[in-house]
C-alpha cells in the first residue's frame, strides 16, 4: 500500500467501537519509541537549539519527525513481513564484511545513546543527592544491568513510562503559560535555516529524533510478535494498524520536541541566558511547578535516563544477537554480551568527559553520523523482493527512502565541512 493510500485510509477509518478496540490491541511499539523522545539526549539537544537559536531550528524537528515516521514504519514493515529484526535480516542477506560494518557501527551508535542516558541519570542523582557524576554513572550502570538481566524492568516499566510521559505532557501544557511568537514559530517549523555555527546543534537534534538504535529496536519489538506466521489477512491488518501506531506516536513526539524548543526559547533565548548545564532545564518547569520544579525535573530525568538506558541496552543486545542470526533474548549469552558491550563502554567514556552538557550534545550528533549506514541498509532490505516478496517497497516508497538517505548524508557532509571552517 502506498504512503498516500495509507494516509487516506488512516483519516477515513471507521471509528466504530469494534475498530477502535482492534486499533488499541496493536498500539504499543510506536508509543514505546516515543518515550525515547523524553530522554536526556533529547532534552540537551532541544534546549541547545531553543536557547541558542530561538525558533530558527524548529524546522529540523519537523523534517526529522517526517523522516522518523517513514523509517520507523519501514523498520516495522520488515519485522511484520519477515519475522526478523533489522540485525538478523542484515546478517542473513549481507556479505560478512559489509554486515560487520553495518552492525558494529550500529552497536557504536547504541553506545553513544547509552552514554547520554547514563550521563543524564547521573546528573539527576547529582541534583538529588549531590553524588559525583562518575559515582552516579557506575551506580546507574549497576541498576540498569540488574533490571535487564533479572528482567524485572517490566514490573516498574508502566510507572516509569507514566511519570516520564507526564513530564512530556507538562511541556505541552506549559507553552500555554508562556509568551510565544506563534508567527515566528510557524515560520521556524517549515523554513530551513543554517545559522552560523549551528550545524552541530542541527545534527544533534536530528540524531536525538531519528536514533539508529530505535530502528533496530522497533523491528525487534515487532518481530517478537511473530505476525508473519499468520495468514495474509492478518499481515495486512498489522501493516495498517502499525502505520497508525507509528503516525500517531511520532506526531506526539514532534509536539513534545517542539514544546521543549519553544520553552527553551522563551526561558533562555529571550533573556539571552547561556545554557551550559542540563540542570538549568528545571527553570522551564517553574511556570507550572514553582519551587518543586527542581526536584520533579531531577526525578523525571532519573527515570528517563534509566528507561532509555534499558532500551539502549536492549537495542545493543538485539544488534549483537542478530550477528548470530538470533532474536533478542536476555537469557541468551549473545544478547547478554551485546548489552554489556553497549553499557560498559558508555560508562567508561563518561569518565573522560569534561563538560557533561557538551557530552550530551556530541553523543546525539554522533548518532546522525551513523544514521546513513542504517538508513541505506534498511532501504536495501525492504526494497528487495528476495527479502520482502510482494511486500517490497513501491517505486514511490523507494524514492522517498532514498531521498531521506541522501538528505541525511548531505547534512553530515555539511557538518564535516563546518568542523574545519
- Measure the CA–CA gap between 189 and 62, rounded to whole angstroms: 6
The answer to whether residue 385 is domain-embedded is yes
| C-alpha cell belonging to residue 95 | 556479505
The answer to whether residue 412 is domain-embedded is yes
The number of domains in the chain is: 1
- Measure the CA–CA gap between 101 and 78, rounded to whole angstroms: 20
The answer to whether residue 105 is domain-embedded is yes
- Measure the CA–CA gap between 13 and 119, rounded to whole angstroms: 43
The answer to whether residue 18 is domain-embedded is no
- Measure the CA–CA gap between 204 and 190, rounded to whole angstroms: 19
Q: Indicate the pTM of the whole model.
A: 0.88
User: What pLDDT was estimated at residue 386?
Assistant: 95
- For a pLDDT cut of 70, what percent of the chain falls above it? 84
Please determine, for residue 13, whether its predicted confidence score (pLDDT) is greater than 50: no
| C-alpha cell belonging to residue 377 | 541498509
Mean pLDDT of 299-326: 91
The answer to whether residue 298 is domain-embedded is yes
Please determine, for residue 66, whether its predicted confidence score (pLDDT) is greater than 80: yes
The answer to whether residue 98 is domain-embedded is yes
- Measure the CA–CA gap between 350 and 361, rounded to whole angstroms: 13
The answer to whether residue 374 is domain-embedded is yes
Query: Is the CB of residue 376 less than 8 Å from the CB of residue 405?
Result: yes
16 or 87, which is more confident: 87
Please determine, for residue 188, whether its predicted confidence score (pLDDT) is greater than 80: yes
> Is residue 389 classed as helix, strand or coil in its secondary structure?
helix
Rama region for 54: left / alpha / beta (φ>0; ψ in -120 to 50; rest): left
Instruction: Show the domain range for 250.
Output: 3-11+29-263+275-419
How far CA 204 is from CA of 12, 84, 415, in Å, comes to 36, 30, 11
pLDDT in tens, 342-356: 999 999 999 999 999
| C-alpha cell belonging to residue 281 | 532545564
Element (H, E) at 153: helix 153-174
- Measure the CA–CA gap between 275 and 327, rounded to whole angstroms: 42
- For a pLDDT cut of 90, what percent of the chain falls above it? 57
CATH number at residue 353: 1.20.1740.10
Q: DSSP label at 393?
A: P
**Average pLDDT score over the chain:** 86
Please determine, for residue 156, whether its predicted confidence score (pLDDT) is greater than 70: no
pLDDT in tens, 91-114: 999 999 999 999 999 999 999 999
User: What pLDDT was estimated at residue 225?
Assistant: 59
- Measure the CA–CA gap between 243 and 3, rounded to whole angstroms: 10
Tell me which of 2-6, 255-259, 265-269, 375-379 is least confident. Answer: 2-6
The answer to whether residue 16 is domain-embedded is no
User: What pLDDT was estimated at residue 4?
Assistant: 54
324 or 283, which is more confident: 324
User: What pLDDT was estimated at residue 154?
Assistant: 66
Tell me which of 129-143, 178-192, 273-287 is least confident. Answer: 273-287
User: What pLDDT was estimated at residue 284?
Assistant: 80
**pLDDT band, residue 124 (cuts 50/70/90):** very high
Amino acid at each position: 500500500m502506498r504512503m498516500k493510500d495509507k494516509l487516506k485510509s488512516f483519516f477515513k477509518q471507521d471509528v466504530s467501537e469494534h475498530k477502535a478496540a482492534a486499533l488499541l490491541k496493536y498500539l504499543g511499539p510506536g508509543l514505546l519509541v516515543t518515550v525515547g523522545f523524553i530522554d536526556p539526549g533529547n532534552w540537551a539537544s532541544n534546549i541547545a537549539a531553543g536557547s541558542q537559536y530561538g525558533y530558527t531550528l524548529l524546522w529540523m524537528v519537523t523534517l526529522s519527525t517526517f523522516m522518523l515516521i517513514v523509517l520507523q514504519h519501514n523498520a516495522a514493515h520488515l519485522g511484520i513481513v519477515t519475522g526478523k529484526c533489522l540485525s538478523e535480516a542484515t546478517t542473513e542477506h549481507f556479505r560478512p564484511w559489509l554486515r560487520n560494518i553495518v552492525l558494529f557501527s550500529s552497536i557504536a551508535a547504541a553506545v553513544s545513546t547509552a552514554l547520554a542516558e547514563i550521563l543524564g541519570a547521573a546528573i539527576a542523582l547529582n541534583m538529588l543527592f549531590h553524588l559525583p557524576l562518575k559515582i552516579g554513572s557506575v551506580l546507574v550502570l549497576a541498576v540498569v544491568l540488574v533490571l535487564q538481566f533479572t528482567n524485572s524492568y517490566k514490573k516498574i516499566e508502566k510507572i516509569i513510562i507514566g511519570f516520564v510521559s507526564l513530564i512530556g505532557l507538562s511541556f505541552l501544557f506549559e507553552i500555554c503559560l508562556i509568551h510565544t511568537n506563534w508567527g515566528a514559530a510557524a515560520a521556524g517549523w517549515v523554513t530551513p535555516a543554517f545559522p552560523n555555527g549551528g550545524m552541530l546543534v542541527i545534527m544533534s537534534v536530528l540524531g536525538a529524533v531519528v536514533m539508529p538504535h530505535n530502528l533496530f529496536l522497533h523491528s525487534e519489538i515487532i518481530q517478537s510478535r511473530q505476525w508473519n506466521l499468520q495468514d495474509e489477512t492478518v499481515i495486512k491488518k498489522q501493516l495498517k494498524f502499525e502505520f497508525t501506531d507509528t503516525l500517531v506516536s511520532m506526531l506526539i513526539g514532534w509536539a513534545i520536541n517542539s514544546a521543549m524548543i519553544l520553552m527553551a526559547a522563551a526561558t533562555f533565548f529571550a533573556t539571552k541566558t547561556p545554557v551550559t548545564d542540563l540542570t538549568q532545564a528545571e527553570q522551564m518547569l517553574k511556570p507550572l511547578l514553582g519551587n518543586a520544579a527542581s526536584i520533579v525535573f531531577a526525578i523525571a530525568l532519573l527515570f528517563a535516563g534509566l528507561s532509555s538506558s534499558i532500551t539502549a541496552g536492549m537495542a545493543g543486545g538485539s544488534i549483537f544477537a542478530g550477528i548470530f542470526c538470533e532474536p533478542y533474548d536476555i537469557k541468551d549469552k549473545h544478547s547478554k554480551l551485546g548489552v554489556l558491550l553497549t553499557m560498559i563502554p558508555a560508562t567508561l567514556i563518561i569518565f573522560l568527559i569534561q563538560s557533561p552538557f557538551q557530552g550530551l550534545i556530541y553523543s546525539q550528533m554522533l548518532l546522525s553520523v551513523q544514521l546513513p549506514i542504517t538508513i541505506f541498509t534498511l532501504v536495501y532490505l525492504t526494497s528487495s523482493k528476495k527479502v520482502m516478496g510482494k511486500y517490497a517497497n513501491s517505486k514511490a516508497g523507494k524514492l522517498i527512502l532514498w531521498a531521506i538517505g541522501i538528505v541525511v548524508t548531505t547534512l553530515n557532509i555539511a557538518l564535516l565541512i563546518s568542523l574545519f571552517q
